[in-house]
Amino acid sequence: MLLVIDVGNTNIVYGLFDGPVLQHQFRVESSRGRTSDEHAVVLRSLLAMYEIKPAQVRGAIIASVVPQLNDPMLALVRQTFGLEALMVEPGIKSGVRILTDNPKEVGADRIVNSVAAFDRVKAAVLVVDFGTATTFDCVTDKGDYIGGVIAPGMQIAADALFSRAAKLPRVEIAKPPRAVGKNTLHSMQSGIVFGYVGLVDGLVDRLFAELGGPCRVIATGGLAGLIAPLSRTIDEVDDQLTLVGLRLLYERNGGAPDA
């Protein structure tokens, strides 16, 4: 099996592939204070729940946007599976040209998403990833990554509202019954959710204008399922996009597909 690890600012997602099929997926908190031993205890416990033995894992790849967790994740794989994990970093063979001012500063997750999205549609594509930040990544019909947008994530925006407005309570991020709120709860949910839908659609429209026309829009990330049905520009949601991209990168860098 192949272990793929997506290290984000909020969560670490572990995926286990058997060939091209994602068999298991685990999501845990991205605790920067945990040691590699502590991360290993958590992962071993998750594997044990499904009776997966460490010896079954024959390859590993990591994409991280949290530099403090890079070494602990590499050590986790080394200690738990006796493997040296492939790290998504500058120089890795992606099959995607990075046509930005400074390719080295593009986040690993954005490259991974672009690889998976272009492999899926074989045409120009725009990826919207709803994570701690919401990113918009543009890939041309030739498979070139040309840049995109980084916006505050919806949870970050909501947290700022809760913390800076003394009389407003913390509310669940959920779709309200209508845009016109009849109470504080629904008014806040309307502003957070419908306001964010407007941000997404407005940015996608602006990107389409600069790109010379519309293309396929794929959403991924924790809040994609909430926003996509309310958006007029998002075509589909793929919760496994980043994990699939990691598998593709592993294979493109010499890893066996049935690792």
Could you list the active site residues?
109
- Length of the chain as a residue count: 259
In the sheet that holds 125-130, the strands lie side by side as 145-152, 133-139, 125-130, 216-221, 236-237
Answer whether 87's CB lies under 8 Å from 112's CB.
Answer: no
Which amino acid is present at 67?
Answer: P
Place of tokens 């941000």: 199
Name the β-bridge partners of 11. Answer: 29
Which amino acid is present at 86?
Answer: L
Place of tokens 């926003």: 227
As given in the structure block, the two tokens for residue 227 are 């926003």
Residue 151: C-alpha distances to residues 8, 131, 133, 134, 248 (Å): 15, 10, 6, 5, 27
Whole-number Å distance between alpha carbons of 73 and 37: 10
Q: Give the CA angle between residues 130, 181, 189 to the nearest 5°.
A: 20
For residue 136, give the 3-state DSSP assignment.
strand
- Read off the DSSP letter of residue 18: E
As given in the structure block, the two tokens for residue 199 are 């941000």
Write the CB contacts of 207 (distance below 8 Å, at least 6 apart in sequence).
Answer: 126, 136, 138, 148, 149
